[in-house]
């Protein structure tokens, strides 16, 4: 980590430093971002009369500027928010006349920014600071360990059991006795009250089991074991039960991390899971592409299938005849636009015991809200929703679930409310945190408030992140970014929403609650185009008609004049952030690009009258304008229909077979399921360098990165590849093959489900062992909810 900046670093280059500071002031803005600082320094260095700025490029000042994420400026001060290493922050201020440099704490830095936007609450503004609650909790030390919280926690847990042998072991015993399912006690009977008794019981049980055949069933050994106080759940056969009991004995001897993890992997803890995903149209058909309805739906439907399978495998292995259950809870929308989102209860295809439960939003007076509500506007309904969900789930499940998984800001908040009430392990999945998508949306929150209500969303995020027992992220960058860019979670560490509150310490990405567990793409639907036997050739006529046939008014626009050219394909919701019109513009303005390929876009609706979402309508209109302006009618096909899953899967392969490419041009993409869907289909993929795709794709190996900020360069990069592939077809094959390989190695639901189940056990155990220690945080969050979130949310309700 580089040393902090000092006046001595600046003195020898005073002229250049002053020249740079003048340039920064002349920009006339009070907040400057990293790239702007860096661009100004470089521009100065290139100038003839650059006052020696070239030398400045070699100094520590340049190093610091390169790592400064943001600077706040008002004469005579320049405040710097520096990120000297991944996830590490340092704040300082530089006097622009004397060149004195001094460190400041985050609070002072944020207060300075508040004054820049005309807010000054003196010493008594509301400050949120969770650091004092974390004093005794373990923290990772190395930034490279971020996202591997479970490994760290297992180590800590075992050393804690060991250090604090008496109390630690007692907790373990209590934990083993606490497991019940459907009224039946599992693992150990309550009669075993002390560790010496447990040791004695284990010795006797092991002796007994050694004299039995390893494949004798639980039922056969049950009478003898139950007489000793051993209950069901250690395994289905005498051999496995013996193994599990030996593991427990090892932990009692020496709770090494590997032993503890192996033991926890065998504890039957999770029989029922509740998954919360309130916003959007959550359904199994005809929903993808509707507003707020994309990857999260796909993710959850794939996730529950994989999870159910894994839960069933574990339950069987432990000798239990219990059918695990999963309930996905979403919002019931009476005006369901031809989907099944008006149905209360629905079985999930491909599962045995997983259902969707839909619960409506209600107004203050208790009336059901009939229409779709944007994810930005739903805050006033969530508390009532949580209440109704609680009631309905009690009726459906009769017992509390063993694990609750929240999704996105709204689902995570509802998960928090329910877990607080139920005392159940809470897992959060962000999918996408809006804060990093909208630049400076915290500082200038008031300007966006009418449209986006970020005040509610960021407050909900802070509460839910801190309440969660563990958090799953799809990539490392989602948590802690990379060398140059802060992570999505990291952006909640300290920030201010002037006039509302200042967050000195919101969330710490070194907290072991963070884990990277990446999603996959359904292998039944998405597979390489060369797997001919599995291809759905019967869909070919439909695809040809969809892509090459006459456009049908209201659902598609444009028709390829030369259908032999390769297809550049993109598919996304028509959200501004997805930048689909951006891609159309790159294409429209780059002649070579237009010569090399046709452009196929599946996004939103073609008729603005079909959309109830203001952002989507604006995007639709922009698409039409661009097609007109650049005269694209004969080179583009824009389709505004929702494809059935099999058709979507086959479409990727159909395009790959014709040696096309996929482009994901988003201004920011949290993860990007389309990216892995395209890659596993064998389509060379160009995806945004902002967000998850930067990590999914290794540039020029398993695909390519494109920069939406530099559309021209991105268009050239895609065009160059297409042109090269015309003469060197093996180049296309190389990227195609390596894309498939990358997804197969890293992004599969099987890996996902195993890991999620392990996490659930370890964090469930951790919660049990440390529950009391977290009470303070919980009380603080409850107060924050009641005093801050609730009034903000209520103010939105008409």
Interface stretch with ligand UDP, choices 268-276, 407-415, 419-427, 569-577 (CB under 6 A): 569-577
Q: Which is nearer to ligand UDP, 214 or 554 (CB)?
A: 554
Contacts 24+ apart (CB under 8 A), 742-747: 742/679, 742/696, 742/697, 742/698, 742/701, 742/702, 742/703, 743/520, 743/521, 743/676, 743/679, 743/680, 744/680, 746/518, 746/696, 747/518, 747/519, 747/520, 747/521, 747/676, 747/680, 747/696
Interface stretch with ligand UDP, choices 179-187, 293-301, 502-510, 586-594 (CB under 6 A): 293-301
Measured in whole angstroms, the distance separating CA 233 from the mean position of its chain's CA atoms is: 34
Q: Which is nearer to ligand LCN, 431 or 502 (CB)?
A: 431
235 — alpha (psi -120 to 50), left (phi > 0) or beta?
left
- By CB under 6 A, tell whether 305 contacts ligand UDP: no
Q: Which is nearer to ligand LCN, 382 or 670 (CB)?
A: 670
Residues 191-230 that bind ligand UDP (CB under 6 A): none
Least Cβ distance, residue 662 to ligand UDP (angstroms): 11
Residue with structure tokens 């004695």? 200
Interface stretch with ligand UDP, choices 119-127, 506-514, 580-588, 666-674 (CB under 6 A): 666-674
- Identify the CA nearest to 769 among candidates 156, 96, 31: 156
Least Cβ distance, residue 543 to ligand UDP (angstroms): 14
> What residues contact residue 663 under an 8 Å CB cut-off, 6+ apart?
568, 569, 570, 583, 685, 686, 687, 706, 718
Among ligand LCN, ligand UDP, none, what does residue 583 contact (CB within 5–8 Å per kind)?
A: none
Q: Which is nearer to ligand UDP, 295 or 512 (CB)?
A: 295
Interface stretch with ligand LCN, choices 194-202, 353-361, 394-402, 666-674 (CB under 6 A): 666-674
Beta bridge partners of 473: 516
Least Cβ distance, residue 676 to ligand LCN (angstroms): 9
Helices 775-784, 408-422: axis angle to 10 degrees equals 130
* Sign of the C-alpha dihedral computed for residues 72, 78, 83 and 87 taken in this order: negative
Least Cβ distance, residue 277 to ligand UDP (angstroms): 12
Q: Which is nearer to ligand UDP, 348 or 500 (CB)?
A: 348
Element (H, E) at 10: helix 7-10
Q: Binding residue for ligand UDP (CB under 6 A) from 248, 288, 314, 626? A: 288
- By CB under 6 A, tell whether 669 contacts ligand LCN: yes
- Identify the CA nearest to 69 among candidates 103, 96, 22, 35: 35
Interface stretch with ligand UDP, choices 289-297, 369-377, 410-418, 713-721 (CB under 6 A): 289-297
Among ligand LCN, ligand UDP, none, what does residue 289 contact (CB within 5–8 Å per kind)?
A: ligand UDP
What separation, in Å, do the N-terminal and C-terminal C-alpha atoms of the chain show? 52
Interface stretch with ligand UDP, choices 44-52, 159-167, 342-350, 670-678 (CB under 6 A): 670-678
Cβ atoms of 63 and 103 within 8 Å: the answer is no
> What residues contact residue 322 under an 8 Å CB cut-off, 6+ apart?
181, 182, 271, 315
Secondary structure of residue 75 in the 3-state scheme: coil
Residue nearest to ligand UDP (CB): 294
- By CB under 6 A, tell whether 573 contacts ligand UDP: yes
656 — alpha (psi -120 to 50), left (phi > 0) or beta?
alpha
Residues 731-750 that bind ligand LCN (CB under 6 A): none
Interface stretch with ligand UDP, choices 78-86, 291-299, 705-713, 787-795 (CB under 6 A): 291-299
- By CB under 6 A, tell whether 673 contacts ligand UDP: yes
Residue nearest to ligand LCN (CB): 295
Q: Binding residue for ligand LCN (CB under 6 A) from 432, 507, 517, 715? A: 432
Written as six digits, the tokens of 456 are 């509610």
- By CB under 6 A, tell whether 296 contacts ligand UDP: yes
- By CB under 6 A, tell whether 648 contacts ligand UDP: yes
Interface stretch with ligand UDP, choices 1-9, 33-41, 292-300, 694-702 (CB under 6 A): 292-300
DSSP state of 83: E
Q: Binding residue for ligand LCN (CB under 6 A) from 153, 273, 333, 673? A: 673
Q: Please list the helix, strand and coil fractions of the chain in percent, rounded to the nearest 5, in that order.
A: 50, 15, 35
DSSP calls for 550-565: ---TTTEE---S-TTS
Least Cβ distance, residue 79 to ligand LCN (angstroms): 32
- Residue 36 sits at the vertex; the CA angle it makes with 30 and 40, to the nearest 5 degrees, is 105
Burial of 266 (0-12, 13-18, 19+ CB in 10 A): buried
Q: Which is nearer to ligand LCN, 296 or 455 (CB)?
A: 296
Cβ atoms of 743 and 697 within 8 Å: the answer is no
- By CB under 6 A, tell whether 302 contacts ligand UDP: no
- By CB under 6 A, tell whether 677 contacts ligand UDP: yes
Least Cβ distance, residue 625 to ligand LCN (angstroms): 26
Residues 265-324 that bind ligand LCN (CB under 6 A): 295-296, 299
- By CB under 6 A, tell whether 431 contacts ligand LCN: yes
- Identify the CA nearest to 446 among candidates 500, 373, 503, 379: 500
Interface stretch with ligand LCN, choices 553-561, 618-626, 633-641, 668-676 (CB under 6 A): 668-676
- x/- mask, ligand UDP, residues 607-646, rule CB under 6 A, reads ------------------------------------x---
Least Cβ distance, residue 330 to ligand UDP (angstroms): 15
Q: Binding residue for ligand UDP (CB under 6 A) from 571, 627, 759, 793? A: 571
Cβ atoms of 627 and 577 within 8 Å: the answer is no
Q: Which is nearer to ligand LCN, 547 or 572 (CB)?
A: 572
Beta bridge partners of 31: 72
Q: Which is nearer to ligand UDP, 687 or 792 (CB)?
A: 687
Least Cβ distance, residue 406 to ligand UDP (angstroms): 16
Written as six digits, the tokens of 358 are 């839909």
- Identify the CA nearest to 764 among candidates 264, 235, 256: 264
Residues 579-608 that bind ligand UDP (CB under 6 A): 602-603
Among ligand UDP, ligand LCN, none, what does residue 573 contact (CB within 5–8 Å per kind)?
A: ligand UDP
* Sign of the C-alpha dihedral computed for residues 726, 728, 729 and 731 taken in this order: negative
Least Cβ distance, residue 604 to ligand UDP (angstroms): 7
> What residues contact residue 171 under an 8 Å CB cut-off, 6+ apart?
161, 768, 769
- x/- mask, ligand LCN, residues 445-484, rule CB under 6 A, reads -----------------------------x----------
Using CA atoms, how far apart are residues 443 and 454, in angstroms rounded to an integer? 11
- By CB under 6 A, tell whether 672 contacts ligand LCN: yes
Residue with structure tokens 């039944």? 524
Q: Which is nearer to ligand UDP, 236 or 649 (CB)?
A: 649
Q: Binding residue for ligand LCN (CB under 6 A) from 65, 670, 694, 706? A: 670
- By CB under 6 A, tell whether 128 contacts ligand LCN: no
- Identify the CA nearest to 288 among candidates 518, 520, 557, 604: 604
- Residue ranges in contact with ligand LCN by CB under 6 A: 295-296, 299, 431-432, 474, 669-673
Q: Where do contacts with ligand UDP occur on this chain (CB under 6 A)? A: 288-289, 294-296, 298, 571-573, 602-603, 643, 648, 671-674, 677
């Amino acid at each position: 980590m580089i040393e902090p900046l000092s006046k001595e670093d600046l003195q020898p280059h005073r002229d250049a430093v002053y020249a740079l500071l003048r340039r920064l002031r002349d920009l006339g803005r009070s907040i400057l971002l990293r790239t702007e600082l860096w661009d100004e320094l470089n521009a100065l260095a290139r100038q003839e009369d650059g006052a020696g700025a070239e030398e400045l490029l070699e100094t520590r000042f340049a190093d610091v500027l390169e790592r400064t994420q943001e600077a706040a400026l008002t004469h005579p001060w320049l405040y710097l928010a520096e990120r000297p290493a991944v996830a590490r922050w340092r704040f300082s201020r530089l006097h622009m006349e004397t060149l004195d440099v001094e460190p400041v704490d985050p609070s002072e830095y944020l207060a300075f920014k508040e004054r820049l936007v005309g807010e000054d609450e003196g010493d008594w503004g509301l400050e949120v600071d969770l650091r004092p609650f974390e004093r005794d909790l373990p923290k990772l030390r190395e930034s490279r360990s971020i996202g591997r919280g479970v490994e760290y926690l297992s180590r800590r847990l075992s050393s804690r059991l060991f250090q604090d042998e008496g109390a630690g072991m007692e907790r373990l015993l209590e934990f083993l006795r606490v497991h019940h399912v459907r009224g039946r006690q599992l693992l150990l009977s309550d009669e075993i009250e002390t560790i010496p008794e447990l040791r004695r019981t284990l010795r006797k049980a092991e002796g007994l089991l050694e004299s039995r055949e390893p494949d004798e069933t639980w039922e056969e050994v049950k009478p003898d074991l139950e007489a000793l106080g051993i209950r069901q759940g250690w395994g289905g056969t005498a051999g496995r039960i013996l193994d599990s009991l030996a593991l427990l004995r090892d932990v009692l001897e020496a709770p090494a991390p590997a032993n503890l993890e192996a033991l926890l992997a065998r504890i039957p803890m999770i029989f029922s899971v509740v998954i919360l995903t309130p916003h959007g149209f959550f359904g199994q058909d005809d929903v993808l592409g509707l507003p707020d309805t994309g990857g999260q739906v796909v993710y959850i439907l794939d996730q529950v299938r994989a999870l159910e399978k894994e839960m069933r495998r574990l339950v069987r292995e432990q000798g239990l005849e219990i059918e695990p259950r999963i309930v996905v809870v979403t919002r019931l929308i009476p005006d369901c636009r031809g989907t099944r989102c008006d149905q209360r209860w629905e079985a999930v295809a491909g599962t045995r015991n997983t259902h969707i439960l839909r619960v409506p939003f209600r107004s203050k007076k208790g009336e059901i809200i009939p229409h779709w509500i944007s994810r930005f506007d739903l805050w006033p309904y969530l508390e009532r929703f949580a209440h109704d969900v609680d009631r309905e789930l009690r009726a459906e499940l009769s017992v509390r679930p063993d694990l609750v998984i929240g999704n996105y800001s709204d689902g995570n908040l509802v998960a928090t409310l329910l877990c607080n009430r139920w005392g159940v392990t809470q897992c959060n999945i962000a999918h996408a945190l809006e804060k990093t998508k909208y630049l400076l949306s915290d500082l200038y929150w008031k300007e966006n408030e009418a449209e986006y209500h970020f005040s509610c969303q960021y407050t909900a995020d802070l509460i839910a992140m801190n309440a969660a027992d563990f958090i799953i992220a799809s990539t490392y960058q989602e948590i802690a970014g990379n060398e140059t860019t802060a992570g999505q979670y990291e952006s909640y560490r300290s920030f201010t929403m002037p006039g509302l509150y200042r967050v000195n310490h919101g969330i710490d990405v070194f907290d072991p609650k963070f884990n990277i567990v990446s999603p996959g793409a359904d292998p039944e639907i998405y597979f390489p185009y060369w797997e001919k036997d599995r291809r759905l050739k019967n869909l070919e006529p439909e695809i040809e008609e969809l892509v090459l046939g006459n456009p049908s008014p209201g659902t598609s626009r444009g028709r390829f004049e030369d259908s032999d050219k390769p297809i550049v394909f993109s598919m996304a919701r028509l959200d501004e952030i997805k930048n689909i019109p951006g891609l159309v513009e790159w294409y429209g303005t780059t002649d070579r690009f237009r010569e090399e390929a046709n452009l196929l876009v599946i996004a939103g609706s073609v008729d603005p009258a079909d959309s109830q979402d203001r952002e989507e309508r604006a995007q639709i209109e922009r698409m039409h304008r661009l097609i007109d302006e650049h005269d694209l009618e004969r080179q583009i096909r824009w389709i505004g229909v929702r494809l059935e899953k099999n058709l979507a899967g086959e479409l990727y392969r159909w395009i790959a077979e014709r040696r096309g490419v996929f482009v994901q041009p988003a201004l920011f993409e949290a993860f990007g399921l389309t990216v892995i869907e395209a890659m596993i289909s064998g389509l060379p993929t160009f995806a945004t360098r902002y967000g998850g795709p930067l990590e999914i794709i290794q540039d020029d190996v398993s695909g390519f990165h494109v920069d939406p900020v530099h559309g021209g360069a991105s268009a050239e990069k895609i065009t160059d590849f297409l042109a090269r592939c015309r003469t060197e077809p093996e180049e296309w094959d190389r990227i195609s093959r390596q894309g498939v390989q990358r997804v197969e190695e890293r992004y599969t639901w099987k890996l996902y489900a195993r890991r999620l189940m392990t996490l659930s056990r370890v964090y469930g155990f951790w919660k049990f062992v440390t529950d009391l220690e977290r009470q303070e945080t919980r009380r603080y969050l409850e107060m924050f909810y009641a005093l801050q979130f609730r009034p903000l949310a209520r103010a939105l309700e008409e």
